[in-house]
Amino acid sequence: MAKDRKIDVVILGLLSHEDLTGYDIKKRIDGAINFFWKGSFGSIYPALSAMEEAGQIKSYRADDSGSREKILYHITVEGITVLKQWLNEEQAANELKYETLLKLYFGGVEGTETTIHNIEIFERNIKSELEVLKMYEKNLKKEQDNEDHKYFLLTVMFGIETYEAYLRWCTKAKKMLRN
Amino acid sequence: MAKDRKIDVVILGLLSHEDLTGYDIKKRIDGAINFFWKGSFGSIYPALSAMEEAGQIKSYRADDSGSREKILYHITVEGITVLKQWLNEEQAANELKYETLLKLYFGGVEGTETTIHNIEIFERNIKSELEVLKMYEKNLKKEQDNEDHKYFLLTVMFGIETYEAYLRWCTKAKKMLRN
DNA sequence: ATCAGCATGTAAGGCGTTACATGATTCA
DNA sequence: TGAATCATGTAACGCCTTACATGCTGAT
């Protein structure tokens, strides 16, 4: 795997469950993965080429001849090895990059009003994202028999726990700023 | 400000409190800001040059002639305007990029053992970072009379609330995986 | 007929990291 | 004397986003 191109393992992970097109992969990433990882077409398609070159995945045309051109990818044994290697690496880059916190940190420049306003924008966004996560949670809990769904559910639960903490903090912070 | 170079506002924010060298700025970023924003010398020094060119900051030599070369930066009126503009922008890019969650999402490939191990690595790291934040909190609470410290304290409180939520989730997740 | 969504890609350019390069000072 | 820290920068390189380019299909 290219040293720092983490999109590779996202792709390998998704392909370990089922064969997908680049377009499908993008849709998957925009779904339940979206809150902790992103990916654009401009990163996915070049990665697919490079990974096929490296023998980790294998492309084939969809054989339902009626439809338009569609390139499906299948993970190879080599690809599974790379995926497993990554899963067993000790270090994991966890990165929080919150512009809202940056604005808060420098809130003294503009004062209470602006800062509270910024917190409220954040609060609104988190509330709406939380609803999406709760919907995912509901759907996943229905199918707990599926082994993989257990893992998906855990990430969703992480998001819910975190976002609820954010909202508690919003309330506290606004109170503190208003004295 | 360069369209997406957010390091600019970090620098402007820091310089709005006091004049600093590039080296000082790096140290500040590595401190309490570190958990929600990062910055390297390779991004700071070029940004300082560009921002001086743009008239947002002004450099001068430290006049204690005995010491080595040291370039201090001072924020200009123009710089303060840019900073305030940014503080009043409605959108803020908040991004979570957690490789641990990615590993969790694809945990089914390796199974329970590996997944729990990865959660435990995460848990350890969060615990030690939480301690650092609690130390910051303690120090900041001592000086609540300082207006700016109130804002710093709020970001630290955000971190503590969040990290404690992470730890609760870790316990829950491990329990769920062990059935 | 038209628009949203399906589907694949390329190109330009920005941002940022890591590593390198250099040298002074301070403290043990 | 040697190591850590102070201090400033450059160079190479990689990753990723945004925008562009193209065209089909299905639904209203």
Supply the pLDDT for residue A3.
72
> What sign for the dihedral angle of Cα A105, A106, A107, A108?
positive
CA-wise closest residue to A6 among B124, B115, B117, B100: B100
Question: CA A78 – C1' C10 distance (Å)?
Answer: 28
pLDDT at res. B48: 97
Contact (Cβ atoms closer than 8 angstroms) between residue B12 and residue B75: yes
**Residue A179: pLDDT band with limits 50, 70, 90:** confident
pLDDT at A71 over 80: yes
- Calculate the CA B132 to chain-centre distance: 13
**pLDDT tens-place string over residues A85-94:** 999 999 999 9
Q: Across residues A41-63, what is the average pLDDT?
A: 94
Strand partners, B61: B71
Q: Which residues of chain B does A151 touch, with a Cβ-Cβ cutoff of 8 Å?
A: 104-108, 115
Bases along strand C below 7 A from a protein CB: 6-12, 14-20, 23-26
The answer to whether the C-beta of A41 is closer than 7 A to strand C is: yes
Return positions of chain D under 7 A from a protein CB: 6-12, 14-20, 23-26
Q: Which of B13, B110, B147 sits opposite A87 (nearest CB)?
A: B110
Q: Which one-letter amino acid corresponds to residue B142?
A: K
User: Can you tell me which residue has its alpha carbon closest to the C1' of nucleotide D12?
Assistant: B42
CB B158 within 8 Å of CB A174:
no
pLDDT (0 to 100) of residue A145:
80
| Topology, domain B7-88 | Arc Repressor Mutant, subunit A (1.10.10)
Mean pLDDT of chain B: 94
The span from the CA of B107 to the CA of A112, in Å, is 44
Buried b (16+ CB within 10 A) or exposed e, B137-155: beebeeeeeeeebbbbbbb
Q: Is B97 helix (H, G, I), strand (E, B) or coil?
A: strand
- Looking at residues B69-78, what average pLDDT do you find? 95
- Whether B2 has a pLDDT exceeding 80, the answer reads no
> Chain A residues with CB inside 8 Å of B175's CB?
none
Question: CB A105 to CB B80 under 8 A?
Answer: no
Asked if residue B45 lies in contact with residue B22, where contact means CB atoms within 8 angstroms, the answer is yes
pLDDT at A6: 95
| For testing contact with chain B, the best of A12, A40, A85, A96 (most B CBs within 10 A) | A96
Of residues A118 and A66, more confidence is placed in A118
Q: Which residue of A has its CA nearest to B177?
A: A150
- Cross-chain Cβ contact A169/B177 below 8 Å: no
pLDDT of A131-159, one tens digit each?
999 999 999 998 878 889 999 999 999 99
Q: Which nucleotide is nearest to B21 (CA to C1')?
A: D7
Segment B124-167, tens digit of pLDDT? 999 999 999 999 999 999 887 888 999 999 999 999 999 999 99
